Amino acid sequence: MAGVTSERHTDILNGYKAGESRFREWAKSALGDIRLVSWSWGRLSMRWEIDDRFIMPDGVMFGGHVAAVADHVAGLVTMSVLADNRERFRTSRLETNFFRPIMQPFATIEARVLNASRNLIHAEADFLNAEGKLAVRIAAVQVRRPLASAEG
């Protein structure tokens, strides 16, 4: 499975990687310092520097926060397979499976699109702890929305 990423979505992902995207700024303030390390069609790698704002008293990341980050990551990897600048999508299903806690100092994230059909995009991502062990695996289904206007 390979394809072309639209100019708009390429610009969004490259801007995110460069730290110059409104999506990156929003994520940094709302979710934490999540950096896009690399991306290609249907794949991306990220590094999440975990700060004190999201850690519970026992030193573990709150699971609901991990799920919010998972939704964000699923959205970014989904963008990588959109071929038309006007394409949009929304999450219809997000499953988060926890194997180990997410803790400081960081986690790495490897995301991939498993299938992109006319109406649905299936993605998954692995969150690895600082020791490189699988901590969380997520699965998401994104629903493609009707094409927006060229200005949107």
Q: Which string of DSSP letters, residue by residue, matches 53-82?
A: GGB-TTSBB-HHHHHHHHHHHHHHHHHTT-
As for how many domains the chain has, the answer is 1
Note down the domain range covering 16.
Answer: 7-145
Structure tokens belonging to residue 89: 């999508």
Note whether residue 65 is domain-resident: yes
57 cis-preceded (ω within 30 degrees of 0): no
Note whether residue 120 is domain-resident: yes
Long-range Cβ contacts of 14-17 (<8 Å, 24+ apart): 16/76
In the chain (152 residues long), the average pLDDT of successive 10-residue segments reads 88 95 90 96 97 92 95 98 95 98 96 97 98 98 80 50
Note whether residue 67 is domain-resident: yes
We report the CATH number of the domain holding residue 121 as: 3.10.129.10
Note whether residue 41 is domain-resident: yes
Strand, helix or coil at 34?
strand
Note whether residue 16 is domain-resident: yes
pLDDT score for 87: 94
Note whether residue 130 is domain-resident: yes
Q: How far apart are CA 47 and CA 17, in angstroms?
A: 11
